[in-house]
Structures are given as structure tokens and as C-alpha cells.
Amino acid sequence: MKKLFITLLASSILSTACAMVKQPEFQDAEVLSRVDSIITTEVKKRMNYFPRDSSEKLTKAFNCKEGKRLLWRVRGYGSPQGFLLPEGEGAIKEIVRQNDKIALLGEPIDHARILIPSAKNELLLPLLSNGRRVTDSGEVQVTYGCEYNMLSSLILWTQIKNALERKKQSYMVELPDDMRAWNHSKVLHPTLKQLHFSDLDFLITHKPLSPNAAPTKTDLKEHLTPYCKDEGNREILMTLARAGVWSYGMLGFAEDGQLQVRKFQQPDNTTPENSMTPEKLAWNRHAFLTGLVGLLNNPEDTEAQSFFKDEDNKALAEHRSYQ
């Protein structure tokens, strides 16, 4: 019986290993030293190992003329050939239309959501050039220099997932399932050996979320206002705030009323120097709570506003304590 158990265990381990492909090791990044070691370990695992079937289907989807054009644009980043909005929006739509293996989800903003139907995966394509952002009026501003603005989503997703698990709140918030980082640079450079914690080498993938029933600010307010009347729901929002959510724009609601976290990239004012530092995280929490108080502005219901205002004052005080 013992021998049979060992045989079955070995078979299970081998089956799991065969289901994953080992991606090239990336050079460590300082930002990973600023987060809990448990988070770092899981992030590295989700970057070093990728489901074999999905990897093969993603590679097939992008290993063609149009797919490679998209990846070259990502690796072009700060050059005129990179996806710098607003020019990038038109370029990406044109290229995606020419590739029948992928589809564009929604309108591109600071990133594009690409669906790969064969892999049942959603891939996030960065559109903001490294070191720049474009305002609503179309003005280009040099505001940050964070080469892993999209890739850092994996850190925040892992922190939020683990925080909800610790609080036993996982079933109450929908997150994208199985977020990982796919080494896309191998499609263009199969022999490339030195990789970095960078959007230039890795793209975020995850399983698609269920549809968002609150896509606009007005919709979100209509959903959040009754949601925040419940004390338990307010505590869930605080779990998200402490884990790193910095804007109510990252939230959504499923059609059944379940709260969602739909976005995970860092704010535009994030730099490699302040990414994931306690001071920056406190400021991000302050930004989220300030925005939430403003969104919930309702003279007839001040309980939720007072709760979040008190928490906002604590976040601001913590931020100032680091200065």
C-alpha cells in the first residue's frame, strides 16, 4: 500500500511538472525586496513557470507577422515605434484586426486587453511609453520611469489575493484567475538569455473576469453606495486598500452584485525608487480613500463617508510619518 502511495505521488508530481513550462530566469529586481517574502516567492513562481498548453497557444498566436508587429511595438516602448498613445490606439486596432488568432477587448486606454481564444487567456499589452504618459487633452508628460508598470500588476494581484485569503474574504471578491507573466520576448529573440523584471520581457496574462456591470463612474457609484452601507463590506474595501488598491477605478461589480478588482497596475506617478515602499503605499491608500469619500458623497448617508474619512486620515498620517 505504501509503495502504491509513493508511486501515485510521484506520478502526480510528474504530471504537474509536465503541465508547466520552465521560463528563462529573470534578473532580480529591487522592488521584489520591498514586499513580503511570501509574495516574492509566489511572484517568482508565476514568472518562472507557465502552463505548457497556454504557452504553446500564446506563442502560436504571436509567432506570425501581425503578432510579431505587436510585440515589436511593446519592445519599442520609448521609441517612436512604440505604443505611445494616442498614436498607439489606432496602431493596435489595425494590427489586431489583421490577426485572426487574437481579439481586442474594449477600448485601449493606458493598456490594451487582448483575448487569445485558443488559450482562453487575456493578455495585457502596455500602451504608455516608459517614462511618459498622455493626458486627456493629448499632452505628453514625462512623469515616471517605471519599466514594469504593467508587470507590477502581478505583485499587487498576489498581495490582494493573499490578503483576502487571510481575512477569509476570498469568496466575496472576484479577482482574475491564475495571473501569470508570459515571457513574450522569446518569440522575437529565441536565444535571449538575460531577462529583466520588465514589460519588455514579460506580459501579464490571466483568465477573463465575468462581465463588469458597473463600467462607468455613475454605474460604480450606484453599486458602491448601497454596498458600503454594510459594515462587513466596508471592511472588505479596507482589506483591498491595505493590500494596495489605490483608486476606485480599479473596482467593478459582476452582474450578480459581487465586488470585483479589475485592474492592478501601479499609478502613473510610480517610479522604481518609490514602487512598493511603505511611504508610497500609504499615499496610495490615502488616494483611494479620498476618492471613495468623494464618490460616496451623499448628505442622507454619512456613516460610510465618516468611516472612510477616518481611515483616510490614518493613511495620510502614516504617509507623513515617513517624511
pLDDT of residue 128 exceeding 70: no
Same domain, 113 and 241: no
Residue 212 lies inside a defined structural domain of this protein: no
- What's the pLDDT at 138? 65
Q: Which residue's entry shows cell 499587487?
A: 156
HSE-CB at 174 with a 13 A cutoff on CA atoms is 19
Q: Does residue 16 belong to any structural domain of this protein?
A: no
Number of domains in the chain: 2
> Is residue 262 in some structural domain?
no
Q: Tell me: pLDDT of 130 over 80.
A: no
Confidence of residue 79 (pLDDT cuts 50, 70, 90): low
The predicted structure's pLDDT at residue 106? 86
Are 76 and 184 part of one and the same domain?
A: yes
Q: Are residues 134 and 93 in the same domain?
A: yes
Residue 265 lies in a domain: no
pLDDT, tens digit, 9 for 90 and up, residues 201-253: 999 999 999 999 999 999 999 999 999 999 999 999 999 999 999 999 999 99
Closest CA to 39 of 156, 117, 120: 156
Clarify whether residues 149 and 294 are in a common domain: no
Answer whether residue 248 is part of any domain.
Answer: yes
Let me know whether 103 and 67 are in one domain. Answer: yes
Residue 6 placed within a domain: no
**Segment (H or E) for 134:** strand 133-134
Are residues 39 and 85 part of one domain? yes
Average pLDDT, the chain: 86
Mean pLDDT computed over 130-158: 72
- What's residue 190's pLDDT? 87
For residues 92 and 73, the answer to whether their CB atoms sit within 8 Å is: yes
pLDDT score recorded for residue 145: 61
- pLDDT for the residue 302: 85
Q: What percent of the chain has pLDDT over 90?
A: 62
pLDDT score for 90: 75
Residue 199 sits at the vertex; the CA angle it makes with 195 and 200, to the nearest 5 degrees, is: 55
pLDDT band at residue 277, thresholds of 50, 70 and 90? Answer: very high
Both 149 and 78 in one domain: the answer is yes
Condensed to tens digits (0 to 9), the pLDDT of residues 88-124 reads 677 788 888 899 999 999 887 778 899 999 999 999 9
Give the mean pLDDT of 22-46. 93
- The answer to whether residue 307 sits within a structural domain is yes
CB 153 within 8 A of CB 175: no
Task: Identify the H or E element spanning 51.
Answer: strand 49-51
Helices (H) and strands (E) in the chain, counts: 11, 14
Contact 244, 228 (CB under 8 A): no
For the cut 70, the answer to whether the pLDDT of residue 141 exceeds it is no
Highest averaged pLDDT of the listed ranges 86-100, 125-139, 154-168, 255-269: 154-168
Nearest alpha-carbon partner for 244 in 285, 214, 208 = 285
Q: How confident is the model at residue 52 (pLDDT cuts 50, 70, 90)?
A: very high
Q: Has residue 10 got a pLDDT over 90?
A: no
Q: 3-class SS at 34?
A: helix
**Rounded CA gap, 226 and 107, in Å?**
29
92 & 225 share domain: no
Query: Among 160, 163, 125, which residue's Cα sits nearest to residue 261?
Result: 160
Higher-confidence residue: 24 or 224? 224
Query: What is the reported pTM?
Result: 0.88
Same domain (yes/no): 83, 191: yes
Give the C-alpha separation, 121 to 184, whole Å: 14
190 in the same domain as 118: yes
User: For residue 222, what are the domain limits?
Assistant: 217-253+277-321
Instruction: Say if residue 108 is in the same domain as residue 192.
Output: yes
Which whole number is the average pLDDT over 27-51? 94
In a domain, 96, yes or no: yes
Separation between Cα atoms, residue 205 and residue 280, nearest integer Å: 26
- The answer on 297 and 192 residing in a single domain is no
